[in-house]
């Protein structure tokens, strides 16, 4: 795991974009990218629309999600809804390049449908679907995707996609699990903003076997993981 530190959040998001562009150039053809929700991607999408409209081969990208909140797309909590508003609509990304988790349908059925979709769309490595890149977020409680500290079993689940419940809000989620997150895919992990300083400190310390957290676990097991931060 590498931590790349930048002076500002803007420079960090630019740095992340450069890393993604390098991965895309190294793998011509459809590039399967899983994105996260939350606040960090919103700022990234705004940057991409403002400054990278003509600098990234958008036709190459196929978009997937690491997790989704179980709300309809029009809800401001929807990870897909925010990406549509801030990225797909402005850049006119075709619908056939967007593979969303449906937050508005039965979560258990949706997790099964999405697992089947990944099996069909993605190449297999180690018998599991493999993304070309996954952009993960890390919450203040050290969760990643929708794998929360109280549900570490999802890090080693047998399903590639499952349901989870947010421990505070009780909101149901659909999420990728550890085995597909850790299937030899390069992980780009933006951890941006002063409020994430304790997260960076904890990630830099590494996995504490006495107190494992989802994000520290994923970073400790990933073959290629880069944390991108403006925390110095
Ligand atoms: O709920 C979620 O939170 C995490 C972290 O988001 P952030 O707002 O701290 O950037 C995110 O990675 C996840 O996809 C999302 O559903």
For position 218, what pLDDT does the model report? 98
- Mean pLDDT (whole number) for 79-88: 98
Closest atom of ligand 1 to CA, residue 39: 8
Q: By alpha-carbon position, which residue is closest to atom 12 of ligand 1?
A: 137
For position 74, what pLDDT does the model report? 98
Q: By alpha-carbon position, which residue is closest to atom 1 of ligand 1?
A: 38
Closest atom of ligand 1 to CA, residue 196: 9
- Mean pLDDT (whole number) for 196-217: 97
What is the percent of the chain with per-residue pLDDT over 90, rounded to a whole number? Answer: 100
- The per-residue b/e assignment along 14-28, b for 16 or more CB within 10 angstroms, e otherwise, is bbbbebbeebbeeee
For position 27, what pLDDT does the model report? 96
- Mean pLDDT (whole number) for 108-115: 98
For 178, counting Cβ atoms within 10 Å of its Cβ (0-12 exposed, 13-18 middle, 19+ buried), the class is buried
- Mean pLDDT (whole number) for 61-82: 98
Task: Report the number of distinct structural domains present in the chain.
Answer: 1
ipTM value, please give it.
Answer: 0.95
For position 47, what pLDDT does the model report? 98
Taking CB atoms and a 6 Å cutoff, what residues make up the pocket around ligand 1? Answer: 36-40, 66-67, 79, 137, 139, 146
- Round the average pLDDT of the chain to a whole number and report it: 98
117-162 pLDDT per residue, tens: 999 999 999 999 999 999 999 999 999 999 999 999 999 999 999 9
61 φ, ψ (degrees, to nearest 5): -85, 140
Q: By alpha-carbon position, which residue is closest to atom 6 of ligand 1?
A: 38
226 φ, ψ (degrees, to nearest 5): -125, 120
Report the helix count and the strand count for the chain, using DSSP H and E. Answer: 8, 11
Split at pLDDT 50, 70, 90, the class of 109 is very high
Closest atom of ligand 1 to CA, residue 138: 5
- Mean pLDDT (whole number) for 23-34: 97
Task: State the pTM of this model.
Answer: 0.98
Distance 39 CA to ligand 1 centre (A): 7
7: domain range? Answer: 2-229
Q: What is the CA radius of gyration of the chain?
A: 16
CATH classification at residue 38? 3.40.50.1360
For position 108, what pLDDT does the model report? 98
For position 184, what pLDDT does the model report? 97
Split at pLDDT 50, 70, 90, the class of 203 is very high
For position 52, what pLDDT does the model report? 98
Q: By alpha-carbon position, which residue is closest to atom 5 of ligand 1?
A: 139
For position 13, what pLDDT does the model report? 98
Split at pLDDT 50, 70, 90, the class of 65 is very high
């Amino acid at each position: 795991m590498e931590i790349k530190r930048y002076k500002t959040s803007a420079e960090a998001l630019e740095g992340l974009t450069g890393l993604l562009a390098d991965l895309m150039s190294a793998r011509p053809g459809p590039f399967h990218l899983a994105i996260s929700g939350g606040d960090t991607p919103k700022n990234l999408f705004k940057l991409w629309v403002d400054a990278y409209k003509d600098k990234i081969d958008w036709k190459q990208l196929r978009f997937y999600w690491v997790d989704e909140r179980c709300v309809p797309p029009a809800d401001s909590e929807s990870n897909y809804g925010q990406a549509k508003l801030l990225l797909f609509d402005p850049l006119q990304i075709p619908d056939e390049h967007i593979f969303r988790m449906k937050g508005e349908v039965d979560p258990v059925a949706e997790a099964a449908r999405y697992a089947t979709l990944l099996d069909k769309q993605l190449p297999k490595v180690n018998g599991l679907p493999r993304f070309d890149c996954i952009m993960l977020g890390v919450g203040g409680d050290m969760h990643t995707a929708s794998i929360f500290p109280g549900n570490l079993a999802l890090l080693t689940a047998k399903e590639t996609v499952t349901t989870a419940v947010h421990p505070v809000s009780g909101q149901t989620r659909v999420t990728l699990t550890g085995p597909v997150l850790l299937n030899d895919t390069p992980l780009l992990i933006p951890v941006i903003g002063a409020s994430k300083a304790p997260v960076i400190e904890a990630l830099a310390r590494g996995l504490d076997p006495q107190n494992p957290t989802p994000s520290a676990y994923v970073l400790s097991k990933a073959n290629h993981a880069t944390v991108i931060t403006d925390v110095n």
